[in-house]
Structure 1
Amino acid sequence: MPSVLVPLAQGCEELEAVTIIDLLRRAGLDVVTAGLDNRPVTASRGTLLIADTRLEDVVERTFDMIVLPGGLPGADHLAEDPRIVALLRSQHAAGRFSAAICAAPKVLACAGLLDGRSATVYPGAVDPAAYPKVEFTDAAVVVDGTIVTSRGPGTAMDFALQLIELLLGRESRDQVERGLVRTL
């Protein structure tokens, strides 16, 4: 079963984090949440999240995908953590998936992983002029090679379903989506 790392930074967007974790686990993926520090994670709206482990305990492990929840200041904490940047660059060099939602695509941009690609990001979270090699769009979800980005909390379900499809195929995505009783 494919494995997914979801790093949880203090101040992450809880709706995104929980939606991603929940839907990927519904699909049967091996999801590991890892805190950047040893404390419970206080999300952007005050929700307390408990990570499965600490990032330092899984930093040497290989994952099929790394998914970054957004939110502020969570995305800033991810961008400032050299372990996260190194993991993302290693993931990219190995041709494995990296994904980010809301303000977190700026972590991918800071790491240089969006150069020459299309991406989406929460409005105002990134100054497009600072990244002239990136084509920013207003799409809900953008897949460009092994990089997946999404717009914000309102697109979290679509984002997570797209990640399921990339890792397990359309049938698995459809099965999870049916169980959610979403109306289209």
Structure 2
Amino acid sequence: MADSKRVLVPLAQGCEELEAVTIMDILVRGGIEVVSASLDNNREIHASRGTVLVAKTTLDAVKDEDFDLVALPGGLPGADYLMQDARILEILRRMHAQGKYVAAICAAPQVLREAGLLDGHKATSYPGVLDQHPAKDMQYVDAAVVEDDGIVTSKGPGTAMDFALALVEKLRGKAVRDDVEAALQRPPCH
């Protein structure tokens, strides 16, 4: 389809499964291709609460491909592993420089900070992740989802659906977001 969109969701060991699954599920419901990628050759991801997720591919296999958005699930130690991965930082910087969306939830906005993408921007995160260690001239916003200059951040597991729906809206428009949300039988909160 002409307006097909692709999203990369890197899955690190110890990621927050509710966030990872919610992001992937809502994006697929919005007609978006989701490519989940493990950081190494072990595609079996043991998430923070013990759930086992299986990535479609590895980061090395897709790191040079084109995506419209990269969405980082949080959770610890998953977000720390993302932050320590030079390939993730390079992908984030490249995509932001190309005017594409970068998104992170919970503890993962620290990865955006590490990549230098939050300098001078508004952002949110799980309490304590960014507000105590902000980027240069960053404004911490206590909101479920914060969007600023192609950067989308969110607070945590409880805001994962709001976050994922915001990503659908960014890539496919408000009408598609509203259709996805209505089918979920969830009262709109916007």
TM-score range, shorter chain: over 0.9
Q: Deviations over 1:140-169 (max 9, x none)?
A: 000001100000000000000000001000
1:26 aligns with 2:29: yes
Tell me, which stretches of 5 or more residues in structure 1 are unaligned? Answer: none
Q: What is the correspondence of 1:1-184 to structure 2 with a 5 Å cutoff?
A: 1-39=4-42, 40-126=44-130, 128-184=132-188
**1:165 partner SS:** helix
Tell me the percent identity.
59
C-alpha deviation, 1:125, in angstroms: 2.0
RMSD: 1.0
Tell me, which stretches of 5 or more residues in structure 2 are unaligned? Answer: none
C-alpha deviation, 1:37, in angstroms: 1.3
Q: Deviations over 1:41-94 (max 9, x none)?
A: 000001000000000000110100000000000000000000000000001111
C-alpha deviation, 1:127, in angstroms: 5.1
**TM-score normalised per structure 2:** 0.94
How many pairs align? Answer: 184
**1:128 partner SS:** coil
**1:182 partner SS:** coil
CA contact (8 A) 1:141 1:149 kept: yes
**Following the alignment from structure 2 to structure 1, what is the Cα–Cα distance between the partners of residues 47 and 6?**
24
